[in-house]
């Protein structure tokens, strides 16, 4: 995890208005809003690295309710498009969604169904998918 956090920080793109990191209280409010617990690794990612901007993928954020990547908004849209309600979207990609299951495994939902693509944690997904985008 630390190695991947370092890679994210190294690749972070400087922008005029940087993203903020959420605090624990904001994550609790989001969990209450979406009626779903945030898996531990995803929670750590949100608290420590959700301010990183890199490449073409835009993973969810949790600090700014007005952002198009705000977790409750992405979740509502994903669920309305058919993503199973037990999955927590972590990134939308052209109508497909990378999602965390309750144990924190990342699965890929595309064209109305889950695919065979999975990653054991958000950290492997960051390394194998996001940093490669």
Encoding tokens for residue 70?
Answer: 């705000």
| Gyration radius from the chain CA atoms | 14
**Strand-by-strand arrangement of the 106-110 sheet:** 58-59, 88-93, 96-100, 106-110, 113-119
> Which residue has tokens 């990191």?
21
Q: What does CATH list as the number for 2-130? A: 3.40.1580.10
pLDDT digits (tens, 9 = 90+) for 57-79: 999 999 999 999 999 999 999 99
Residue 15's pLDDT is 87
How do the domains of the chain map onto residue ranges? 2-130
In this prediction the pTM is: 0.94
Q: Three-state SS for 106? A: strand
Tell me which residue has tokens 């979740």: 75
Structure tokens at 57: 């993928």
Residue 112: per-residue pLDDT: 96
Q: Decide if 121 contacts 104 (C-beta within 8 A).
A: yes
Look at residue 118 and give its three-state secondary structure.
Answer: strand
Nearest to 108 by CA among 51, 130, 62: 130
1 pLDDT above the threshold of 90:
no
């Amino acid at each position: 995890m630390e190695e991947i956090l370092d890679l994210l920080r190294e690749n972070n793109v400087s922008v005029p208005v940087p993203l903020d990191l959420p605090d624990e209280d904001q994550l609790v409010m989001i969990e209450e809003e979406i009626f779903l617990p945030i898996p531990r690794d995803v929670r750590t990612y949100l608290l420590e690295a959700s301010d990183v901007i890199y490449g073409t993928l835009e993973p969810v954020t949790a600090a700014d309710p007005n952002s198009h990547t705000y977790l409750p908004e992405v979740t509502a849209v994903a669920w309305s498009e058919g993503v199973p309600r037990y999955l927590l979207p972590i990134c939308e990609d052209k109508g497909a969604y990378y999602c965390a299951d309750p144990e924190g495994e990342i699965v890929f939902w595309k064209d109305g169904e889950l695919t065979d693509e999975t990653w054991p944690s958000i950290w492997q997904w960051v390394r194998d998918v996001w940093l490669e985008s």
